[in-house]
Structure 1
Amino acid sequence: MLSKSLSLKINTIVLIVIAIVDIIRGCMHTFNINYAAANIAKIDPHPDALYLLGVFGMSNFLTAFIYLIIVWKAKHIAPYILLIIPLGYLVGIIGLKTQGVQMQSDFNGQYMMFGYFAICLLTSLTYFTSKK
């Protein structure tokens, strides 16, 4: 079993990596939007869909910068943030389901997101199950 301090260091490192991934996602969703839509998300290049993809990229930049500030100023909350990330998306998925919104495209990015969520959840759980 890991110690709390080692687990906190691991959580902090993972949060840095997640921030970097979000910066990359932000760049893909905003600056490489046509490539990302056609080759990664596999969605039709409808202007509204591209615009929404770009807006999501803006939120990726926002979350990335918030995660970096947390790492810089408040490392002790990194495990909580990693736990909140998949929970926040779960709330969003529930909202989409209750509104009857369904994907029609392949959306290959979902597989990367499942890994992203699993890493966040498992890493945060290492902290909450570690010994003092």
Structure 2
Amino acid sequence: MYVDGGGCSFECVVAEAAVVAEAEAAVAEAEAVVAEAEAVVAEAEAVVAEAEETAVAEAEETAVAEAEETAVAEAEETAVAEAEETAVAEAEETAVAEAEETAVAEAEETAVAEEQKKRRVIISPPVPL
């Protein structure tokens, strides 16, 4: 509530702090999404590592198998790297977009509420003379 056109009151500051806290919570949630994406990528890398070990063992049997397994391993590593970059980038973009949308919506709500508070006029009953 504004008093005599002055600055934001305690309630206003508390409301703004709540908006900031919610935005920080949204960012934390976004970071959790990124962490989940990174965990998925780590699992994929473990699977690829196992596949590479198997490929190496089989590649020792014949030169042709070695060439094929090397090509497959390189393709898998490239695919995993690309998938990791894409997953992390998409998760970060989504998280940032959600955090921004939340922060903007909350800021707009706060601004509207503050504007409504400014427009309220307290009408006092007439003072008898």
Give the TM bin, normalised by the shorter chain: 0.3 to 0.5
TM-score using structure 2 length: 0.39
TM-score using structure 1 length: 0.38
